[in-house]
Structure 1
Amino acid sequence: MESHLTMYITLVVTSGVLSVFLCIYAFSKRKHLLAARQLALLTALQSIYIFGFAFELSSDSLDEIKRWIAVEYIGIAFTPVVGLLLVLRYIGRSLSRAATAALFVIPSITLILVATNDFHGLFYKLIYLRENTPSPMADMVIGKWYIVHGAYTFGSLLAGGVMLLRQWKKTNKAYRKHLVTLAGGQFIPMIASFLYLMGITPYGMDIVPIVLCGTSAMYLWALLSIQMLRLSPIAKESLFESMREGVLVLDQSERLTDYNGAAKKMLPELEMGMIGHSLDSVWRKLTGEDFPIQRGADGMQGHLQRGHGATRSEYEVRSSTIKRQGGEALGCLLMLIDVTEQRQLQEQLKQQAYYDALTGIMNRARFIRQSRALLQEADPIRPSASLILFDIDHFKGFNDTYGHETGDAVLLHTVSACRDQLPDNCLFARYGGEEFVVFMPASEQSEALEAANRLRSAIEAAQLETEFGSLTVTASFGVAAYRSGDTLEVLLREADSALYEAKRLGRNRVSVFHKESPAPA
């Protein structure tokens, strides 16, 4: 028996050391762990209970045993309540100060009654030493308040465990290990205590201190390996999973701790195995690159694009800091807002506002705004710019003879023939019904003349295939060169004058405006 007692005390002390270590770890990580203060207080109380019990087992007299029992109840009385508060904090439920204080009423009464039991016998009627034991060990006859205390203790542990189990279906599978660990911390001591009260433990020993060694080890494993208590995955579940925005939950070190279903749809490559990895590491696995949004004083804000062409999606990115009640940062929510449809609508409106609906090239209003801006940027020392105005010859005849669908095809054919002949820095627009305009910044008259002849030749050379057979399309061109002080309106007027001259001379040709008089090219 004596050797077994020594071994048992050794195991109890080991359990106490592990609880102290867990307490210190939780307190040191209080800025990073949800409910760290509750966990630190819980393990501190467990340590008092465990070491008090170890000293009780090594006591030499009944009076000394009574003193250590009173010390033990500092832990025993309050541990179930603090454990319940830990569970409530984890699942995101809050109590008022009055309700929280009320939870400590019965434990406080228990502690007082244990310390003063010799005067009233309410907690235990009788406490006595066992016979034939190598070291003094006590047994007791329980009093009325012991029953109240026991019921309250079992009720607190059971309530915490049941609340955790009720979250099972709502909890992301990656966090169910957290639930199991915390529920084990409620149910395992309760079962051990029940076995002790039933008198079916070895030598009638209280096995709860030994069991707490196991629960402390479970907590440490969960804290270190599966990031338990980094963030609560339960309180937000219903809202979190119903959000249309994709949400990535990051801890203070920008490690991924959770994501919702919307984020999974936006980023199908996301996997549970990525939880615990840094944001940059996760993004490299998804895209081969670091996360592209820069971190700023206001968090992360920007836009992301995924896919190409018709499958391209665009997301607005915003981050929101998660703070604990004291205002300390605990992590952040990185929200991905799908703005693909919004951007497409904006592009459609932009297309309607800036571009010709039929041909897809710039419309008249957009052309005038941009051309004026380019003229203002012209080199004041050696200003150069040119403008080409042209229209399709006999366009009315195409409409009257073949119909408006063929007329539209002629317009599209003309634009298609011209696109590849113009430098990239030119502005090309539909100026009117069958009239087109080209603005060439930083170009001399000779360059514009050469470009106009290329366009004329390209239009004539490209046959338009229709249901009525091959059609030849031609156009007449007018070219005007910028002179210092000219406005866009002047250039347009001069180009129009040159265009009129080209038509007068027989069409399908280019005329250049000269100050004295237009001359055919």
Structure 2
Amino acid sequence: MQLDLTPYISLITTSGVLNTFLCLYVFFKKREFPEARLLVWWTALQSVYIFAFAFELASDTLEEIKRWGVVEYIGIAFTPVVGLLLIMRYIDWNISRRTARAMFIIPAITFLLVATNESHHLFYKDVYLRSDTPTPMADIVIGDWYIVHGAYTFGCLFAGAILLLRQWFKTKKTFRIQLLTLLCGQSLPMIGAFLYLIGATPYGADPVPFILSITSALYIWAILSTRLLMIVPIAKENIFESMREGVIVLDRSGRLIDYNKAASRMIPALRRSLLGKRLVDIWENLTGLPHYGLKRPGADETVQELQWESGGVLSIYQAKLSIVRGRGGDVIGDLLMLVDVTEQKRLEEQLRHMAYYDGLTGIYNRTQFIIRAKEQLELSALRERPTSVILFDIDNFKAFNDSYGHETGDDVLRHAAAVCQRELKPDMLFARYGGEEFVVALHGELPESADLIAERLRIALSGNTLDTPAHGSLTVTASFGVASSMDSAASLETLLREADAALYEAKRGGRNRVCRYQGRLAAT
């Protein structure tokens, strides 16, 4: 009785259609697939194999069967290698182009030997029609290269399965469905091919095309439901773990569900045992802060600056809380990203300090003095209070530089600033005016008080020697000029000019003294 192969051919054809659909889907969606080229070739080669096998089953003569057998090997020879390369990309295992090309040498030889088998019989020693089947079906006597091809094919399938199994415990649960799908796609054809080789299939028929109908359906389901291969998850995990920014993933209820290595470095107390707990409940134990202060934003992101101490070192982080949305636009969780800005903030503080303070002495610079002194002068005029300016510079400063060197000269300036700073109140504006010249602005002090303060500074300077390792104790003195004003129309420039004239008079009068400007100069 003639065996009706129509249901089997229909099933195989369905498998081919599914593979072709998968191939075309990937081709037209290639921008969404990181390895679209490999995936297109893989599915296309499988489709060639499946359809050729269907035509082989429908053949009536041995010549037809042989002809379609050659076409089958376009898929049979190359598919395992392309599949292995695809798995390598999936797990982010990079190989050189030369190695990848070398992997196709044996498949190319296999196809060439199958196509020319009649002239050498290296692949099949014989191909003949079976007498025990009710419909024309071929059987083979294997040749030497068939063994090489079989071993290589199994090696590729087995290597792919092993690579995927090794990733199982490294892969997060979210991606294990994808991994399982790939494992089925790799192992089921391998089992089918093994059963075929040992003669355990009905009528010695190749079961792999039938199995591919199952794996094709699995792949289509996985692509549509889990976005299989649209984002390479193992590679994504590697990127996630190698990010310099700390990333903490929260579910919709604020529970901790994942974090990367950078986050664990920033927050050493983070442990896998804390997964599933609400971040707001464990934040204080993790960082010492009562709350990270970021609430789910009205927009998709809020930014805040956080700082905490770890190992005795204060670190500053820019914390960004972003909403994570599902494909339908619904909120499915939050992403807390921590960017270490400690160094950046330190540099910003240095720049800010340089904008306000003198780099050598640490007191206000000339620019800041002028800005703040003008503000004080305006306030004094409104309240009808006096403003005084004390201008002084180090006596014989050039001699310090010439005799002892510029390093000692810098020490003299630092010494003068430190001594005077101890004598001044915090609300007295004190700055380095330029070179060896210093200035003090006194808001609300009567002229007599300004004179006393200047004298106190002069005495403090001359009475505190500068001890140097190379030159012993050095006496530092300064000459002072004082100017005061009760006039609301008086300008800072006028006061400075008058104080400078008084300073010049103090130097001309013998140095290490205080002179006041009162329309005429008065020495104290």
Which bracket does the TM-score occupy, shorter chain normalised? 0.5 to 0.7
Partner of 1:370: 371
SS of 1:110's partner is: helix
SS of 1:140's partner is: strand
Partner of 1:481: 488
Structure 2 CA distance for aligned equivalents of residues 285 and 135 of structure 1: 73
Partner of 1:141: 141
SS of 1:92's partner is: coil
- Using the TM superposition, give the Cα deviation of residue 154 of structure 1 relative to its aligned residue in structure 2, in angstroms: 0.3
Deviations 1:482-511 (A, max 9, x none): 46xx4x23257899xxxxxxxxxxxxxxxx
Aligned residue identity for 1:51: F
Partner of 1:76: 76
- Using the TM superposition, give the Cα deviation of residue 76 of structure 1 relative to its aligned residue in structure 2, in angstroms: 0.4
- Using the TM superposition, give the Cα deviation of residue 78 of structure 1 relative to its aligned residue in structure 2, in angstroms: 0.6
Aligned residue identity for 2:297: T
Tell me if structure 1 keeps the 8 A contact 2:34–2:229: yes
CA change 1:342–1:99 in 2 (3 A) is closer
SS of 1:228's partner is: coil
Partner of 1:67: 67
Aligned residue identity for 1:490: T
Cα RMSD after superposing both structures: 5.0
Aligned residue identity for 1:315: Q
Structure 2 CA distance for aligned equivalents of residues 60 and 313 of structure 1: 78
Structure 2 CA distance for aligned equivalents of residues 262 and 21 of structure 1: 42
- Using the TM superposition, give the Cα deviation of residue 247 of structure 1 relative to its aligned residue in structure 2, in angstroms: 6.5
1:90 aligns with 2:90: yes
Partner of 2:5: 5
Deviations 1:83-110 (A, max 9, x none): 1221223333444443333222211221
CA change 1:307–1:97 in 2 (3 A) is closer
Partner of 1:338: 340
Tell me if structure 1 keeps the 8 A contact 2:124–2:143: yes
SS of 1:131's partner is: coil
Structure 1 CA distance for aligned equivalents of residues 229 and 65 of structure 2: 38
- Using the TM superposition, give the Cα deviation of residue 74 of structure 1 relative to its aligned residue in structure 2, in angstroms: 0.6
Aligned residue identity for 2:345: R
Structure 2 CA distance for aligned equivalents of residues 386 and 146 of structure 1: 109
Aligned residue identity for 2:8: Y
Structure 2 CA distance for aligned equivalents of residues 114 and 386 of structure 1: 109
From 310, 315, 321, give the equivalent of 2:318: 315
After TM superposition, list the pairs within 5 Å mapping 1:402-421 onto structure 2.
none
Deviations 1:169-196 (A, max 9, x none): 4444433433333333222211111122
Partner of 2:118: 118
Report runs of 4+ in structure 1 exceeding 6 Å deviation.
1-4, 264-268, 308-312, 372-375, 384-388, 430-433, 492-495
CA change 1:491–1:134 in 2 (3 A) is farther
After TM superposition, list the pairs within 5 Å mapping 1:44-193 onto structure 2.
44-131=44-131, 133-193=133-193
Structure 2 CA distance for aligned equivalents of residues 373 and 43 of structure 1: 79
Deviations 1:445-492 (A, max 9, x none): xxxx9xx9xxxxxxxxxxxxxxxxxxxxxxxx9755246xx4x23257
Aligned residue identity for 1:481: S
Aligned residue identity for 1:144: D
Structure 2 CA distance for aligned equivalents of residues 59 and 103 of structure 1: 33
Partner of 1:305: 304
Structure 1 CA distance for aligned equivalents of residues 295 and 8 of structure 2: 51
Which consecutive unaligned segments of at least 5 residues does structure 2 have? 250-257, 277-293, 321-335, 390-420, 433-437, 446-483, 500-517, 520-524
Partner of 2:14: 14
- Using the TM superposition, give the Cα deviation of residue 437 of structure 1 relative to its aligned residue in structure 2, in angstroms: 5.6
Which shifted more, 143-152 or 207-216? 207-216
Question: Identity of paired residues, percent?
Answer: 52
Deviations 1:301-355 (A, max 9, x none): xxx43459999954399xxxxxxxxxxxxxxxx9964114641574488469748
Tell me if structure 1 keeps the 8 A contact 2:2–2:134: yes
CA change 1:2–1:246 in 2 (3 A) is farther
- Using the TM superposition, give the Cα deviation of residue 15 of structure 1 relative to its aligned residue in structure 2, in angstroms: 0.8
Structure 2 CA distance for aligned equivalents of residues 388 and 57 of structure 1: 112
Aligned residue identity for 1:127: V
Tell me if structure 2 keeps the 8 A contact 1:49–1:72: yes
1:216 aligns with 2:219: no
What is the TM-score with the length of structure 2 in the denominator?
0.57
SS of 1:31's partner is: helix
Tell me if structure 2 keeps the 8 A contact 1:315–1:340: no
Partner of 2:200: 200
SS of 1:481's partner is: coil
After TM superposition, list the pairs within 5 Å mapping 1:177-326 onto structure 2.
177-234=177-234, 241=241, 243-246=243-246, 260-262=260-262, 286-291=296-301, 304-307=303-306, 313-315=316-318
Structure 2 CA distance for aligned equivalents of residues 208 and 82 of structure 1: 17
- Using the TM superposition, give the Cα deviation of residue 372 of structure 1 relative to its aligned residue in structure 2, in angstroms: 7.9
Structure 1 CA distance for aligned equivalents of residues 2 and 20 of structure 2: 27
- Using the TM superposition, give the Cα deviation of residue 148 of structure 1 relative to its aligned residue in structure 2, in angstroms: 1.1
Tell me if structure 2 keeps the 8 A contact 1:387–1:491: no
Structure 1 CA distance for aligned equivalents of residues 54 and 25 of structure 2: 23
Aligned residue identity for 1:108: A
